[in-house]
Amino acid sequence: MTTAANTLIPFETLKPGDNVKITQRIKVGLKIWTTSVTGTVERTERRREGLATTRNFDDKAFADLIILKKDGPAGEETTIAMDEYTRVERA
């Protein structure tokens, strides 16, 4: 029997060419939706955030991103920002 912990893929282990299903939770006010996308990992990035507030010069904030080529005839690319509610699984 597999558990959710066994099927989830850590961000650090993703490689270009991995076929994955990514599920995210979206919360607006009291409403919560989930959305999923399936595709092939093009690359992963850790991008520095340009926050809109004045911060200390050495206070760095980063976002982990997955650039994904979506399944389907159009072959669209999408960028997914990881958060604590993002689930990445093998497709």
Nearest-Å Rg of the Cα atoms of the chain is 15
Q: 79 and 66 in contact (C-beta within 8 Å)?
A: yes
Task: Look over the chain and give the mean of its residue pLDDT values, rounded to a whole number.
Answer: 86
pLDDT band at 1 (very low <50, low <70, confident <90, very high): very low
- The full DSSP string for 1-20 is ---HHHHB--GGG--TT-EE
Q: Which amino acid does the sequence have at 1?
A: M
The residue with greater pLDDT, 31 or 49, is 31
How confident is the model over 45-72, as pLDDT tens digits?
998 876 656 666 666 778 899 999 999 8
